[in-house]
Structure 1
């Protein structure tokens, strides 16, 4: 699918959203900004087509969405599905996390992101009684 330019109003909206990040978004941003996460370059509040995504790593085509509780109601779930379908058709992988994931489990969140990017392999499952 060819690049879909963002609507003109999305650039100023994205800029305003960067100034009003949630605590969870800010915590994740501080962990990934300036290529801090295994050299991955993230952009925050990044316009893609008609949408503004929370965080995008264009080199790996990964989007990280950090969602508040409002994303749990039926209408939001349907809207998120349409949005995810569009972004997926554009070649992006969408990773969704909750605010709690970012605030209390940031290391696990970051590990998942770099695993999806292929920068680390998942740890093998250890079975009880197994010997190395």
Structure 2
């Protein structure tokens, strides 16, 4: 899906300045550590940047801090989720405090979302 150059540049910047909960979750997801699912971080999709994206499951994972509890941000998030859903992408929101306090539970929930339909990770020689 086409993303404007400004969105791609912003995604690159966000990869360098991830929040602590995003870094912790990325360490647990990268390298197909979650049931063989491949995740991308700060992935541009159209005009939006997804915190994490699993293309095989068409799953966007958003780590939400306290700012997402503000009514204006909640309206923006709802519009964004609707836009993504129209394109077949499911949005899974996780509170940043959950990543910090219950990473195992977060990972179990994500593993259930990506499901068993993914191929196992390739095995080395």
TM-score (norm: length of structure 2): 0.90
Residue-pair matches, total: 117
Paired residue for 1:55? 52
**Deviation at residue 34 of structure 1 after TM alignment:** 0.7
Q: How does 1:1-132 map to 2 (within 5 A)?
A: 3=1, 5-119=2-116
**Deviation at residue 41 of structure 1 after TM alignment:** 0.3
Deviations 1:29-64 (A, max 9, x none): 000001111111000000001100100000110110
**Which of structures 1 and 2 has the larger relative contact order (alpha carbons within 8 angstroms, sep 6+)?**
2
Deviations 1:45-100 (A, max 9, x none): 00001100100000110110001100001000000000000001110111001111
TM-score (norm: length of structure 1): 0.86
Task: Give SS of 1:9's match.
Answer: helix
Counterparts of 1:23 and 1:119, CA distance in 2: 29
Q: Assess if the C-alpha contact under 8 Å between 2:62 and 2:91 holds in 1.
A: yes
Structure 1: give runs of 5+ residues left out of the alignment.
121-132
**Deviation at residue 116 of structure 1 after TM alignment:** 1.5
Runs of 4+ in 1 over 4 A off after TM superposition: none
Deviations 1:92-129 (A, max 9, x none): 11100111111111111111111122229xxxxxxxxx
Counterparts of 1:28 and 1:105, CA distance in 2: 11
